[in-house]
Structure 1
Amino acid sequence: MRGAALLCLLAAGCAAQPSAKGGGIVSLNPCADAMLVELVPPARIAAISHYSRDPGASSIAPDVAARYRTNNGTAEEIIALRPDLAIIDSFASVSTREALARAGVKTLTLGWASTIEDSKKQVRELAAALNARPAGDAMVARIDGAIAAARTDRPPLSALLWIGGNTVNGSGTLLDEMMVKAGFSDHAAHYGLQGTGYLPIEHVVADPPRVMLVPDEAGRDAGSRAAQMRGWALARSGAKVDQARFNRSLVNCGGPVIARAMTRLAEVRREVGE
């Protein structure tokens, strides 16, 4: 048994296994995962959401996600883990909620945070539920510090933040607020787009932004259809548009992701200048 355990520990990506007696924290919410792994020690986490292993949905590094067992969000597997706390999101089905309640599983619901203040409240709420208030306060301080460091006196530059494919970020979102605080104006909002949605590439040709924040790396990923379409749009417009990498993991959630996203936005704003 000890030899098998040692092999497991040495194996890359070997996920931590919960105690046979249960306990610990289970998260069904990928945005809660991002907070959870920074608020408490790994030994307290019984399982995180399977979305955190998906590069298109995760807000945590792949090597970090690989340390933990994952769950698919079913009531049966959560109940089988016998957690001290299950963190669910507002999209959890009524049947799942009822099943967890009948089994006596304590739950905490975290909804979607569309502002920085809402996200900081969520951090404090989760930290309080985990008896980890000092870690929550430290996370909020990192968010505030990154926002302060990103402030600029320069006039705002128009920027278009591509989520993936032809999907962009518009007004009334957490990302929109972060862009503004880092010295950009959200060009998708200028087009009239609210929330996250599809943007016809013709809009970019007719009225291009000064900066494009892209999930792929310009040049290296030029073969992707999205990158080809952006290249075509820029060539047709003839405008001066800088493209800058903005990693997909920075667009999914708030919490500690805000600090990383603000730092990257500030870097891009400094690089572009003006």
Structure 2
Amino acid sequence: MPTGDVRSMSGFRRSFEALMLAAGLCALPPASEAAPLRVVSINLCTDQMAMLLAAPGQLLSVSHLARDPRSSAMAQQAEHWPLNHGGAEEVYLLRPDLVLAGSYTAGATVSMLERLGIPVAQFAPVTGLDDMRAHLARMGEVLGREEQATALLAEFEARLATLHDPAATPPRAALYFPNGYTLGGNTLGGEILEAAGFANVAAELGLTRGGVIPLELLALAAPDAVLTSQPYPGGSRSEDIMAHPVVAALRAQMPMAAVTDADWVCGTPHVLRAMEDTARLRRALEDTE
């Protein structure tokens, strides 16, 4: 390309970026506004927190995953909002004054939106119930819905208290996912197991976070129950381990339960459903003893 054309293209690019930046800055809400009026969420978990807390008309769009019943605990509720696929262009055209994202969500999109002067509130993955409480409180703050967040958390604590039903010797359960992945005690899944009255086999094996349990160790641990995830359509080699003869033998010897993935994925009050379902499994085990 001739030197003049290169300079011309470079100048055009700088002018375009300056124009977009100026437009983005103009789209910012006045400093006096107490709460954002046009909120867009581009992350599955921020989708659900926003749907629970946003004022009518405040939330403009949620991510396309929000309507997937395999991963979203609020798939039906998400029918009320337009979807987005997390692209910078489509989000920008919605003229948001706040974008909600996960800390690992669409890095290029988040970077571009911030360059255009659009505020982005990022939320890290939840690793336990304390994280969940903190995230809901923060979502209430960024949406200007602190009272609603406080009420939601109070309702959560009241329902959580009703699950406290300690057993003298709690049955032992293993979470077992594709590739043999499991969750230890210092995880949301581990805390769900504990709240439901189970001892976590992964914690017994020294796993505090996520990790892998080889098939041999799973068999030797002899858990009272194995909780697995629902396979996705199409099949994956990572799920082949679930059809291994060792796992088949375990299935024949002990109760199995499929995790309702949507209720376990995000740190929202919907984890209570996961706890309640798992507590029912524990009571069924105890009734057979």
Please indicate the TM-score interval, normalised by the length of the shorter structure. Answer: 0.7 to 0.9
Per the alignment, residue 129 of structure 2 pairs with 116
Secondary structure, counterpart of 1:73 in structure 2: coil
Cα distance, 1:87 vs structure 2: 0.6
Displacement of 1:226 after TM fit?
Answer: 5.8
Residue 29 of structure 1 pairs with residue 26 of structure 2: no
Which residue of the other structure, out of 78, 82, 85, is the alignment partner of 2:95?
82
Change (3 A) 1:55 1:81: same
CA 1:195/1:153 → structure 2, altered by over 3 Å: closer, same or farther?
A: closer
Q: CA deviation at 1:241?
A: 2.0
Give the Cα separation in 1 of the matches to 2:187 and 2:65: 21
| Equivalent in 272, 276, 287 of residue 259 of structure 1 | 272
Corresponding position: 1:147 with 2:160: yes
1:117-147 CA deviation, whole Å, 9 max, x = no partner? 1210110110122122232122212321232
Unaligned runs of 5+ in 1: 1-22, 218-223
Structure-2 separation of matches of 1:95 and 1:236: 46
Matched with 1:161 is 175
- Equivalent residue, structure 2, for 1:12: none
Give the alignment's Cα RMSD to 1 decimal.
2.8
What letter corresponds to residue 205 of structure 2 in structure 1?
Y
2:85 is aligned with what amino acid?
N
Could you say which structure has the higher helix fraction?
2
Q: Distance in 1 between matches of 2:192 and 2:170?
A: 12
Superposed displacement of residue 208, structure 1: 2.1
Matched, 1:53 2:67: yes
- Name the amino acid aligned to 2:151: A
Partner of 2:193: 179
Q: Is the 8 A contact 2:39 2:58 kept in 1?
A: yes
Question: Matched residue of 1:51: which SS?
Answer: helix
| 1:195-234 deviation line (CA, Å, top 9, x unaligned) | 33443333222222111223349xxxxxx956543xx436
Question: Who is 1:102 aligned against?
Answer: 115
The change in CA–CA distance for 1:64 and 1:148 in structure 2 (over 3 A counts) is same
Residue in 2 that maps onto 1:20: none
For structure 2, the 5+ residue unaligned runs are 1-36, 232-238
Amino acid across the alignment from 2:58: R
**% identical equivalent positions:** 28
Structure 2 CA distance for aligned equivalents of residues 55 and 264 of structure 1? 17
Residues 242-257 of structure 1 aligned to structure 2 (within 5 Å): 242-257=255-270
Which stretch has the larger CA shift, 257-266 or 164-173? 164-173
Q: Is the 8 A contact 1:26 1:78 kept in 2?
A: yes
Check whether the contact 1:166–1:198 (CA below 8 A) recurs between aligned residues: yes
Larger radius of gyration: 2
Task: Quote how far apart the aligned CAs of 1:158 are.
Answer: 0.9
> In the alignment, which residue of structure 2 is the partner of 1:18?
none
Q: C-alpha distance in 2, partners of 1:163/1:34?
A: 24
Counterpart for residue 22 of structure 2: none
**Cα gap change, 1:177/1:83 in structure 2, threshold over 3 Å: closer, same or farther?**
same
Deviations 1:237-264 (A, max 9, x none): 6985221232111221112222222222
- The alpha carbon displacement at 1:27 in A equals 0.7
Cα displacement (A) at 1:160: 1.1
Return the offset for 1:68.
Answer: 2.1
**Structure 1 residue 109: deviation in Å?**
1.5
- Is contact 2:43–2:105 with CA below 8 Å preserved after alignment? no
**Counterpart position of 1:170:** 184
1:187-226 aligned at under 5 Å gives the runs 187-216=201-230
Q: What TM-score does the superposition give when structure 2 sets the normalisation length?
A: 0.73
1:66 aligns with 2:79: yes
